[in-house]
Structure 1
């Protein structure tokens, strides 16, 4: 386990999946990231989703009519990353490169690098995706952090700064697949969405956040739980285990989408995917204020 710290926070990151496993505020020892030591709800903390988000139809996808296997949320979260030389106590970088195993299911020469840097208000995560091959590389990139709740979920609301109103979500049916529809979130009030367990009891919701810049989860009294910047992520998913009233909420920036239900889809045509040119590089920045 890797540890980084500054005067305000201490964080731990697992080389397996480059997963943030803890983000603790020193002033009051508050743990921000979900911990499930009892194994009651969800065993993960904040997995990185690459090169897929969600389930693929029949756990397969197509590239020019050739089928490949792909597990839910891709493979990056379950593979060991290489830890790069650490030059400062408040930051660490990890990298995953294509190898013989990944090429069987994802025939692209890629590199995925994450850099975690603590700030005075939380954490910044820099993602760098590189295509070392000679063809366009389709992929999705997402983040799936769970945040501890200090109150029941219906004491919170989501505020999306800059979002186009009325607020809309992508239809999910059957969960976790999309059905191709778009719905107005009827309970939203302009850019505020009251949160509750019934809202998420049918599965995740995915909000069209292409115009939004900031996502803020706060109590109805205005006390902030977490704030994320969405400039590099056009969709935002919310999830908590269905019908369990779990004491955590996943707030998930997506640059990509789950499959629409049906047959395996060609990733060069899939909605939400990025197609990175040969030799290309794309950066994403995500900041968490807690």
Structure 2
């Protein structure tokens, strides 16, 4: 495990998947990130999703008229990052390169860089995808953190800052696939969305946040818990394990979408996918701010 620290925060990152496992407020000794001691609810913490988001139809996808197998949410979360670069006590970069094994399911050389930096406002996380190939590389990238909650989920809501209203929701069904529909989110009150297990027990909720700058996690009556910058991410997914009354909620910035239910999808044509030109890179950044 890799630890970084400043005067306000501590964070811990696993070299496997470059996954954030702890983000601690030092003054109150409170960990914001979900940890499940026995793995009975959800064994992960904040996985990085690449090069796929969601489950592929028939467990595979299409690329240049050839089918490739793909696990749910891709494979990066299960592989160790092969470089670690420290920049003082509060900043670290982890780098993962393609291997012969990854090329069997994703036939590209790629470089994924993930930078964690503790700043006065919170935790800044940067993701950079590089394409050293001679062809266009399609990919999706997502950040899937689980945030601890105190009390009941029904006490919480999210607020989309800068978002157009009404808030639009992508239809889901059968879970976890999209059904191809998009419509206003009935539960939204302008740009505010009440949370609760009855809302999330039907499965993931995918929002269109192309115009939003950030998302706030709030607790009644009027406490701000977190602010997550989402300017670089056009989609936001909300999730808590269905039927488990789990004491955490996932608020997930996505640059990509799950498959629409049906046949395996051509990744060059898939809605939400990024198409990265040869020799180019794409950068995504978020800041997890606290109050």
Fold shared by both chains (TM-score > 0.5)? yes
User: TM (normalized to structure 1)?
Assistant: 0.98
Structure 1 residue 278 corresponds to structure 2 residue 278: yes
Alignment of 1:94-133 (within 5 A): 94-133=94-133
Residue in structure 1 matched with residue 143 of structure 2 by the alignment: 143
Residue in structure 2 matched with residue 203 of structure 1 by the alignment: 203
Return the offset for 1:213. Answer: 0.6
Inter-partner Cα distance in structure 2 for 1:56 and 1:37: 30
Q: Confirm or deny: 8 A CA contact 2:85 2:94 kept in the other structure.
A: no
Farther off after superposition, 118-127 or 250-259 = 118-127
Inter-partner Cα distance in structure 2 for 1:135 and 1:34: 39
Return the offset for 1:183. Answer: 2.2
Structure 1 residue 264 corresponds to structure 2 residue 245: no
Runs of 4+ aligned residues of structure 1 deviating over 6 Å after TM superposition are: none
Q: Confirm or deny: 8 A CA contact 2:48 2:144 kept in the other structure.
A: yes
Inter-partner Cα distance in structure 1 for 2:119 and 2:35: 22
Inter-partner Cα distance in structure 1 for 2:178 and 2:172: 4
Inter-partner Cα distance in structure 2 for 1:27 and 1:84: 28
Return the offset for 1:39. Answer: 2.2
Alignment of 1:124-203 (within 5 A): 124-203=124-203
Return the offset for 1:186. Answer: 1.2
Q: Confirm or deny: 8 A CA contact 2:83 2:96 kept in the other structure.
A: no
Residues 62-89 of structure 1: CA deviation (Å, up to 9, x unaligned): 0122100100000000000023231310
RMSD: 0.8
Inter-partner Cα distance in structure 2 for 1:65 and 1:246: 42
Inter-partner Cα distance in structure 2 for 1:87 and 1:243: 42
Inter-partner Cα distance in structure 1 for 2:87 and 2:116: 12
Residue in structure 2 matched with residue 82 of structure 1 by the alignment: 82
Residues 35-86 of structure 1: CA deviation (Å, up to 9, x unaligned): 1003221000000000000000011000122100100000000000023231
Residue in structure 2 matched with residue 231 of structure 1 by the alignment: 231
Structure 1 residue 41 corresponds to structure 2 residue 25: no
Q: Confirm or deny: 8 A CA contact 2:179 2:260 kept in the other structure.
A: yes
Q: Secondary structure at the match of 1:7?
A: coil
Inter-partner Cα distance in structure 1 for 2:121 and 2:191: 24
Residue in structure 1 matched with residue 28 of structure 2 by the alignment: 28
Residues 24-43 of structure 1: CA deviation (Å, up to 9, x unaligned): 01101011000100322100
Alignment of 1:43-58 (within 5 A): 43-58=43-58
User: TM (normalized to structure 2)?
Assistant: 0.98
Inter-partner Cα distance in structure 1 for 2:63 and 2:7: 48
Return the offset for 1:283. Answer: 0.7
Inter-partner Cα distance in structure 2 for 1:85 and 1:155: 40
Inter-partner Cα distance in structure 2 for 1:33 and 1:171: 28
Q: Which runs of 5+ in 2 are unaligned?
A: none
Inter-partner Cα distance in structure 2 for 1:187 and 1:61: 33
Q: Confirm or deny: 8 A CA contact 2:17 2:79 kept in the other structure.
A: yes
